[in-house]
Structure 1
């Protein structure tokens, strides 16, 4: 395979420790490895913008029935949907870090993820941390470098952590946590399971994995499968009382990047669209490259948390990494079944999932199915629009 000179450039863009000296992960990058990332237009310094806003909807409908469950069906702990008990006993959650800059869309495999976390990473862009357990994905891309948020998410699910390097300070933190370091697949460390496909995407956006390749690579590296039991999320078929009917929710991560979720009552799902300050009504469908289908979710959860800019340099523009404070408590918003719910989240330690409660202290359950989670700053207000 020909050597791609931009391997060093990727490390300038995503694997640095402090300017102007830039470092790569401690082992050499493989030949043909990823190269430098392309800067995202308008993704400069972070600017405060309104937090999610909602538009009212008059009515909701019952979601379409689920496929026939397997004969040995048990409830998937992170979706609440039926899955094979025998299969579940032979796998372990996978956490894949996936890019979300303009050249990285559309991504592969997000529709097959059980959970997708979206986090502000640096420079106004976001990244996805996708969890796979009860669904298989033949193609997942583009796999990118790790971020501080993975210090929370990998232990939360005791996951096999899949990424393409990280900045030196972040790598040091990964290596200090045995729950992460002993269950990692890192492209830059020549770990198995990765495929580079420059015919699909230009580097550094061309690194692919699959759930099958990750589990096989984990066996090769003697990563235990299964691991510890994943968290058991709280599900209920019927939505709780007290929700506000809404048609859409707009999450403005950056002036150049909005996410708008629209309720599809016929399908019983929230559909994901993209817009921006410059084109607020554009509503471009965010699709999965593998299928061409719009990304959907049964649940959309907004976790409001303190975001602190660190001294860790994450790209060649000098953008600094963001540390999201997820131990403690804060406000949350849940969208399910065409309804919006105000809630409180609580999390006491790194291995915990979020406990969600309503104003009266009663638990707030998710709808069975997949969930998209936005980590969002506390200083951006929630604004609801009524008819």
Structure 2
């Protein structure tokens, strides 16, 4: 069983592949993105201005095309560190560069030349798309470059951070068919999920969020909304954020059309995140892909029961149940 999806595997040896974490552009002009459906886990993480990045974690699959690859922020490194991942990105904030030299992370940067060589082969520009939303990475090529540099390509398999429901086991929590995250900083920066009976169909203010490979909407089986402390960095001209991913806090768990509360814990930047039910046990999810959303604790989150009749391009209506990031229901 894949410990991150709960799905059966015909080749358990793939679990010994070293994780690769890729920073993927999530600007509207970057969609649809490539590679997300091959990821074992996807994070959505705030950047500045209400835009988010998608950090895709690849363990069992090595797609030929992933991207568009975009820049890093210093708190993204906490996610690469906890997986001991090879980190693929294209540039970064000043805070990223100030920190990464102290971490010892193995990273492939599509913007800054690496004196060790080999990095240029990892990235290509797609002439059909406009810069800066057209830089792509090939993971097989990235791993060849990593091997040339002497980096480890294998790692011991990790225990699953999740528990998975057995066949016929009913999910717990309140019935919720529609969930909206309002990312702070941009009126059109919200993301909406609709429960389909089989997964959570993802929509943005620009319509359904689809996969490049198939044109089908992205539909994770589970959503984890991890509420984290976040603030604007004082004096930063671009409005960049300080986001604290180490610590503990409130967790919203959406699975099987139900929503309930839990807790998250991360003891240090290098420690694994623990996603927990209210009773302290690992979260219990449906088999299938999970998306983890690292949402500022001040963000507004809406949850409602029966599906609304809104069009996918409209701003979510007021009046749905609000879940304040720092308070109760």
- TM class by smaller structure: 0.7 to 0.9
TM-score (normalizing by structure 2): 0.83
CA contact (8 A) 2:181 2:302 kept: no
Q: Are 1:252 and 2:182 counterparts?
A: yes
Q: Distance in 1 between matches of 2:305 and 2:133?
A: 41
Q: Which residue of 2 aligns with 1:189?
A: 113
Distance 1:240 1:353, change over 3 A: farther
**Offset, 1:382:** 4.4
**Offset, 1:241:** 5.5
**Offset, 1:237:** 2.3
Q: Are 1:171 and 2:101 counterparts?
A: no
Q: Which residue of 2 aligns with 1:243?
A: 173
**Offset, 1:228:** 5.3
Distance 1:248 1:193, change over 3 A: farther
Higher relative contact order (CA 8 A, sep 6+): 1
Q: Are 1:262 and 2:188 counterparts?
A: no
Q: Are 1:88 and 2:15 counterparts?
A: yes
Q: Are 1:154 and 2:98 counterparts?
A: no
Distance 1:79 1:312, change over 3 A: farther
Q: Distance in 1 between matches of 2:203 and 2:302?
A: 19
**Offset, 1:383:** 4.3
Q: Are 1:293 and 2:216 counterparts?
A: yes
Q: Pairwise mapping of residues 47-196 of structure 1 onto structure 2 (< 5 A)?
A: 75-83=1-9, 84-89=11-16, 91-178=17-104, 180=105, 183-187=106-110, 188-190=112-114, 191-196=119-124
**Offset, 1:130:** 0.9
Runs (5+) with no aligned partner, structure 1: 1-74, 276-281
**Offset, 1:193:** 4.2
SS at match of 1:369: coil
**Offset, 1:297:** 0.6
CA contact (8 A) 2:224 2:254 kept: yes
Q: Are 1:201 and 2:129 counterparts?
A: yes
Q: Which residue of 1 aligns with 2:278?
A: 359
Q: Distance in 2 between matches of 1:217 and 1:335?
A: 38
CA contact (8 A) 1:139 1:290 kept: no
How many corresponding residue pairs?
296
**Offset, 1:312:** 7.5
**Offset, 1:113:** 1.3
**Offset, 1:291:** 2.0
Q: Distance in 2 between matches of 1:322 and 1:340?
A: 28
**Offset, 1:156:** 1.1
Q: Which residue of 2 aligns with 1:274?
A: 204
Q: Distance in 2 between matches of 1:289 and 1:241?
A: 31
Q: Distance in 2 between matches of 1:290 and 1:189?
A: 30
Q: Distance in 1 between matches of 2:254 and 2:233?
A: 31
Q: Distance in 2 between matches of 1:361 and 1:323?
A: 28
SS at match of 2:203: strand
Q: Distance in 2 between matches of 1:329 and 1:378?
A: 12
**Offset, 1:232:** 2.7
CA contact (8 A) 1:146 1:166 kept: yes
Q: Distance in 1 between matches of 2:254 and 2:81?
A: 26
Distance 1:248 1:225, change over 3 A: same
Distance 1:81 1:241, change over 3 A: closer
Q: Distance in 1 between matches of 2:274 and 2:76?
A: 19
SS at match of 1:249: strand
**Offset, 1:240:** 6.4
**Offset, 1:134:** 1.5
**Offset, 1:231:** 5.6
CA contact (8 A) 2:75 2:245 kept: no
CA contact (8 A) 1:158 1:230 kept: no
Runs (5+) with no aligned partner, structure 2: 307-329
CA contact (8 A) 1:96 1:143 kept: yes
Q: Distance in 2 between matches of 1:92 and 1:128?
A: 19
CA RMSD of aligned residues (A): 2.1
